[in-house]
Structure 1
Amino acid sequence: MIQGIQTELRPISMDDFKRTYEWRNDEEIARLEAADWLYRHSHVPLARIEKAYEEILKLDAREMGEFAIYTKEETPVHIGMIGYRDVHLVSRKCAVGIGIGDKRYWGNGYGTDAMKALLHYLFQTMNMHRVQLDTFSGNERAVQSYKKCGFVEEGRRREDVYCDGMYYDTVMMGVLRKDFVALDYTPQKAITTV
């Protein structure tokens, strides 16, 4: 498991994956995740979600990792998903994505902490040099959260995402190891296992 300050990232179980069924079929979440994996795979039957889980289990952790985000409350709550993909071993880079599906935990720093915990793991354990992501300009809360994690805007694809009758830019962001180290993020507990 990967430990954050407010969150713990656990390897996903089938129960975790099934729990995302509700989130993937929620219109508000789908809109906010318009440029993310959660949205691209929304509005799907439970059987398809189960099949996707089985496919993830076959992947090599050096290529992709998917985690369930749990709170560190006395009784931990599964609140979202986070992961990395598109690992390039020569350039030491990858892409990340996150979705907080439990709306009760929006706006309280859980997503930011989960992303910092994952970045800590990617830079310290997997020896990544660069981590990148795409989001859409209509999700300003996500953009601000990513900036708190050290990401900087590196470019935009103008009017690239169509959502709710409007076009939005895709915001391309990246963080280098040195940028993240400068944040001086240290999880309360050391990373134990993955």
Structure 2
Amino acid sequence: MIRGNLVELRPVTAEDMERLYVWRNDEEVATWAAGSSFVTYSIVSLDTLRTMYEEALRTSKLDDKLNQFIFSVYTLDGVHIGNCDYRQVDPITRAATIGIGILAKEYWSKGYGTDTLHALLRFLFLKMNLNRVQLDTWSGNTRAIRAYEKCGFVLEGRLRQNEYIDGQYHDTILMGLLREDYLQIK
């Protein structure tokens, strides 16, 4: 378990799948979490999520959780509020891609996303000894972009009009954080 000031990052359990099913099928939550991937993200059955969970368990055992891992995000008083992950770990460059979603609406804009990022980054940089972490989002997701910037991420690229959300085009925002920068702001 990885602990922050507001959250704990725990391995995903089968019980988490039922809440994830509700969140992924909530149009507002799914739009913020998935951007233009909304359709494939949200239209998913509980059985499919359970199968994905079982596959993730099997895969993580095979690769010893070094290349990818999904965490459930819980408040310190035990409320499941979202998930985060790392994936595509490159052992040569010591880089990884991350994702985060505070999916319980009542926990939005209260610091839980930033705390989740801090806890995940501390683990990746100080325990896994990574040198670089990157992520992407869509330009309309200003709440997420603010949280990323608070944690030290910088804009590294923009894919113009690469997302299509609610009838409008948005840019894909690419952000990165280096270990040396993380250590300065930590």
**TM-score (norm. length: structure 2):** 0.94
Asked if structure 1 preserves the Cα contact closer than 8 Å seen for 2:34 and 2:41, the reply is no
Instruction: State the partner residue of 1:57.
Output: 57
Change in 2 beyond 3 A, CA 1:142/1:128 = same
Aligned positions, number: 182
Whole-angstrom CA distance in 1 between matches of 2:156 and 2:74: 30
Q: How big is each residue's C-alpha offset from its partner over 1:155-187, in whole Å with a ceiling of 9 and x where there is no partner?
A: 100000001000000000000011111122xxx
Match of 1:164 in 2: 166
Structure number with higher helix proportion = 2
Which residue number corresponds to residue 149 of structure 1? 151
1:110 equivalent to 2:112? Answer yes
What fraction of aligned residue pairs are identical, expressed as a percent?
48
- For residue 113 of structure 1, give the secondary structure of its aligned residue in structure 2: helix
- 1:83 maps to 85
Counterpart residue number, 1:98: 100
Of 59, 67, 74, 1:70 maps to 74
Query: What is residue 31 of structure 1 aligned with on the other side?
Result: 31
After superposition, the Cα gap between the structure-2 partners of 1:35 and 1:94, relative to the gap in structure 1 and judged at 3 Å, is farther
Match for 2:151: what amino acid? C
What whole-Å deviation, never above 9, does each CA across 1:98-137 have from its counterpart, x for those lacking one?
1111101000000110111000000011110000001000
> Does the CA-based 8 Å contact 2:27-2:42 persist in structure 1?
no
Match of 1:132 among 131, 134, 143: 134
CA positional deviation for 1:41: 2.3
Q: Which is worse superposed, 146-155 or 27-36?
A: 27-36
CA distance in 1, matches of 2:8, 2:184: 22
Structure 2's unaligned 5+ residue stretches are none
CA–CA distance in structure 2, aligned partners of residues 171 and 125 of structure 1:
27
Give the aligned partner of residue 13 of structure 1: 13
How far off is 1:38 after superposition?
7.7
**Equivalents in 1 of 2:47, 2:97: separation in Å?**
27
Aligned letter for 2:51?
A: K
Match of 2:140, SS? coil
1:132-151 per-residue CA deviation (whole Å, 9 max, x = no partner) reads 00100010000000001111
Aligned twin of 1:120: 122
Structure 1 counterpart of 2:85, one-letter code: G
Residues 36 and 97 of structure 1 are in contact (CA less than 8 Å); yes or no, is this contact kept in structure 2?
no
Which gives a bigger RCO, structure 1 or 2 (Cα 8 Å, sep 6+)?
A: 1
In the aligned structure 1, how far is the partner of 2:36 from the partner of 2:67?
18
Q: Aligned partners of 2:86 and 2:92: how far apart in 1? A: 16
